[in-house]
Structure 1
Amino acid sequence: MKLIGGTFLVLFFLVTSSVNAQTTPKYSNEFLSIGVGARALGMSNAMTSVVDDVTAAYWNPAALTDIEHRYQFSFQHAAYFQGVANYDYLGAAMAIDSDSHLGLALIRLGIDDIPDTRLLFDDQGRIDYSLIDFFSTSDVALIISYARGVSLIGGENFVQGGGLTFGVNFKVVRRSIGPFAKAWGFGLDASAKYQVDAWNFGIMIRDITTTFNSWTIDKDQLRNSFSQTNNEIPNNSLELTLPKMIVGASRSFNLYTDIDVLVSTDITFSFDGRRNVLIPNRIASVDPSFGFEFDYQDKFFLRMGMGNFQRVKDFTTGDVSTESTFWTFQPNMGMGIQLDEFKIDYALTDIGNVAESPYSHVFSISYSLEPLAAIYAKNKRRIRKKNQENDK
């Protein structure tokens, strides 16, 4: 009954969100959709059922229980749009006991040193470049995560690498556009992960209760410029971010002795109106992604993925009377290496420049402390090998 009640509650939130989609803007808090960790980006973000490290605080907090160390830290820096925008991530996770973990994630997307030319002219009407000031625009999020395994479904095998785990995120969002506008926001995510034999399944519902940003506009900063251009100064407002549901499944296959391949897929359902994705719909748009990871002895990794399916207008035909379109997708690739307590990952995104933004090189590094004892750790590789042998 508890599962039925919980499922009904989730469906209620999602249906309510689709009804409100007509009056709620798309792409709110979109900086939280970029993703963290070069491993994930190399697999086109197909991570809901795969993630097993500190980045789970972002992808699926329920998977924090898969971490096999008492403490784990991660850092990532990436430059987008040819270095115009900087994207940084810092994460930490800690084991509380045998079946529960805490996680923290700090994310910032910022564009710095934007010239403010409102005072470019001096009192005599002459250009004076020394009067130019600079400001930054930034989006920052702090995510606090908690995960716990339960004995409801397969939970008796939780310590041995199976069973069901639940996770929750509490998010604090701070957004600013120089001195002109600032916003505070709060929201919740909920997730679950289920592992049985060699299969992993995950579900992540972002902004499950609808995340809000409360914007405050400094009208004194804007009054002169807006009056000169006959524009209306915006008012303080409340920006809403509707729920988004991601479901995923993955399985690992043994190719040869110490070589395995992990196959993963995620399907994202967005409820903020019709989007340009593989299956667009007014109620729920569907956007799939696929990822593959080859590993040798869990030390060397090669990754690839594809996602971001879109229908794009063809401007090369020269015939303006017809609107020709074609499908595109974004391929990614990456690699990684495990060096004792350190793990270094690299991803190359937007190969072939199929998207509007230039490709980006993304690096991330993680550091682990105090391996958990066998009674606490799931020993995922050992269980995976055993399940593969049983399948044979």
Structure 2
Amino acid sequence: MNKKLVPIFLLLTYLLFPDQAQAQDISAPKYSNEFLNIGVGARALGMGSVQSAIVRDATAGFWNPAGLVGLPKRHNAAYMHSELFAGIIKNDYGSYATNLDSTSALAFSVIRVGVDDIADTRRLQNEYGAIQYDSIEFFSVADYAFLASYARQSNLIKGLTLGANAKIIYRNVGKFANAWGFGIDAGAQLRRGNWQFGLMAKDITTTFTAWRLNPDELEDTYLKDQESFNANSIEVTLPRLILGAGRSFQFANRFSALVATDLEITTDGKRNTLLSTGVVSVDPRVGVELGYANSVFLRGGFNNVQQIEDLDGKSSWKVQPNFGIGVATRGLQLDLALSKVSDNSQVSSVIVSLAYSFD
């Protein structure tokens, strides 16, 4: 964490979470709040999550709030559902965005990623060793994010829009633990003719998430293993930057193309990315969208460039391909994306999203 931010962070911690602050267990794990990096919207995910420079719909509240200036209609709503790991994890997203006037816009978004109906069998046997099926309880493990976004057109530079997010995070592990967090994102977009440029800065103040464990539910488990545990802790999510650029093309009046790229720069140490150091890692993405009469769209993209080691110990570079299609008519848009496609072409993630815009 930037040394200049440490006093501010500690002050907020003591003011807002005095119990957690007294525990003095603060860490910055590499993948803190990683559920916020899965992505939203079938259009975006079908293009390999390339959106920072080109997004202009209700999902801009997530990808880059500056893109809210440019919404197609006054009222814009979007919903997405996807399932990961053969349906075990449910990923849902909803947003509403509106133009306040010709130069500003506002949006609200909700994200939920969770696993439901997990069986708690700790009390399956009673003190006599008999099985009691009615003692089985079920719980959910879910992560929530609530985003409020605002965007405004710059009065100084033509084509420049600026935006920001305030986000509240809630994470729940049944009755065993829960956490609250708060963070701020900021973004910018610049449009010059057919060119579009974007900058998204996530967790610019470092996002902290304060965990509170339930000792009554967990203490027996730890004592059996002769381990001690801290009932309170704080995770810190370090900033990341996304730089993007895109260009649109028009052919024969009815055909169009959009080519875009993003560079995601993380600051939490070395990751398995194309470019990485002990301090930062850079993950490139490329996306393409082909359109006909602004009604039918075909999309594709590549992301997650990683070095994978096979069973023989040989390493090779792999990329994740993504595909998508979309249909739009009278303000209604339906998108479908196939993501996380493996080498043997088995699809492991299907994303469906629906958007509607009206005046």
Both structures adopt the same fold (TM-score exceeding 0.5) = yes
RMSD of the alignment, in Å? 1.9
Per-residue displacement from partner, 1:305-361 (whole Å, max 9, x unpaired)?
00101111111x2xxxxx421111100000000021210000011223579x96111
Higher helix share: 1
- State the secondary structure of the residue aligned to 1:53: coil
Is 2:236 the counterpart of 1:247? no
Q: Identity, % of aligned pairs? A: 42
Q: Confirm or deny that 1:212 pairs with 2:208.
A: yes
1:42 matched to which residue of 2? 46
2:27–2:234 Cα contact (<8 Å) kept: no
Which string of whole-angstrom CA distances, capped at 9 and with x for unpartnered residues, describes residues 234-281 of structure 1?
Answer: 430111000010010000112443111100000000000100111121
Give a deviation string over 1:47-66, Cα, whole Å, max 9, x none.
00111100000000001001
1:104-149 Cα deviation digits (max 9, x unpaired): 1100001001111111111211232221111111100000000000
Q: Secondary structure at the match of 1:125?
A: coil
Q: How many residues are matched? A: 338
- Deviation track 1:2-58 (CA, whole Å, cap 9, x = no partner) reads xxxxxxxx9x88xxxxxxxx9621110100001110000000001001111000000
CA contact (8 A) 2:214 2:231 kept: no
Note if contact 1:81-1:358 (Cα within 8 Å) is conserved in structure 2. no
1:118 aligns with 2:131: no
How do 1:1-392 residues align onto structure 2 when only pairs under 5 Å count? 24-154=28-158, 163-315=159-311, 317=312, 323-352=313-342, 359-370=348-359
Tell whether the 8 Å contact from 1:222 to 1:233 is kept in structure 2 after alignment. no
Shift of residue 302 of structure 1? 0.2
SS of 1:54 mapped into structure 2: coil
Gaps of 5+ in 2: 6-25
What secondary structure is seen at the aligned counterpart in 2 of 1:283? coil
Task: Determine the C-alpha separation between the residues in 2 that align with 1:80 and 1:211.
Answer: 26
**Contact 1:219–1:233 at 8 Å: present in 2 too?**
no
CA distance in 1, matches of 2:118, 2:230: 21
Tell me how far apart the structure 1 counterparts of residues 137 and 318 of structure 2 sit (CA, whole Å).
41
Per the normalisation by structure 1, the TM-score is 0.83
SS at 1:68's partner residue? coil
Counterparts of 2:48 and 2:334, CA distance in 1: 18
> Would you say the 8 A contact 1:343–1:365 is kept in 2?
yes
| Worse-superposed segment, 269-278 or 118-127 | 118-127
CA apart distance, 1:233: 2.8
Q: 1:189 & 1:341 partners in 2: Cα distance?
A: 29
SS in 2 for 1:74: strand
| 1:108 aligned counterpart, secondary structure | strand
Instruction: Give deviations 1:222-242, integer Å, cap 9, x for gaps.
Output: 112222233333430111000
Superposed CA offset, 1:86-112 (max 9, x none):
000010001111100001110000100
- The one-letter code matched in structure 2 to 1:334 is G
Q: SS of 1:215's equivalent?
A: strand
Partner of 2:23: none
Task: Identify the range of structure 1 (55-64 vs 255-264) with the bigger mean alpha-carbon deviation.
Answer: 255-264
Gaps of 5+ in 1: 1-9, 14-21, 155-162, 318-322, 371-392
